[in-house]
Amino acid sequence: MDFSTIFFIALALAVDAFAVALAAGVSLCRVSSRQIFRLAWHFGFFQAGMNVLGWFGGLTVRALIESVDHWIAFGLLAFVGAKMIIEALREEKEEGEGLDPTRGRMLVTLSVATSIDSLAVGLSFAVLQITVWLPALVIGVVAFLLTAAGLRLGCLLGAASRLGARAEIAGGLVLLAIGLKILHEHGAF
């Protein structure tokens, strides 16, 4: 497989990570370098790691995961999106006390949700007898870079609009939309 093909696969896989990072940036309004690195590192690491896991899984696991991968991704994204919306609607929420998607369980949940497709791609690499190490590295680096760019861009958009809770609701709706898009792409409806 040539490098340009690997790169375009990596871009396609990183689109969800970029969209989630964009939504996170809008909802946070301000992000530190540490938050950017943390989200980008985890998204990149999970994209690369899931690709390698998929490759190791090969054909035996593919049939099991392929039938439900879209439901897993949808469930994780819907959970996080709904939680963001509920947090934004809470009346007792003080300004600046939002959900931080760059920490804790939410970080891991988003990392897994955005990397499920990478697992499936790793499985296809195994089927095609393609060595996974270079593709996984490229996939991880591209996801890292697009996540960092998405978080920074989302932060700029959120700060420019000064929408506060509305931006957080929009971010939650974006996550739900990504989950529904995944279901639609897999023919669930």
Per the structure block, which two tokens stand in for 63? Answer: 């049939």
| Model pLDDT, residue 165 | 63
Question: What is the Cα–Cα distance from 158 to 150, expressed in whole angstroms?
Answer: 12
pLDDT tens for 151-161 read 999 888 866 65
pLDDT tens for 68-122 read 777 877 877 787 778 778 877 775 444 445 577 888 888 998 999 889 888 888 8
User: In whole angstroms, how far apart are CA 75 and each of 70, 143, 145?
Assistant: 8, 21, 26
Quickly list DSSP for 65-98: HHTTHHHHHHHHHHHHHHHHHHHHH-TTPPTT--
Count Cβ atoms below 10 Å from residue 61 Cβ, excluding itself: 15
Question: What is the Cα–Cα distance from 28 to 101, expressed in whole angstroms?
Answer: 9
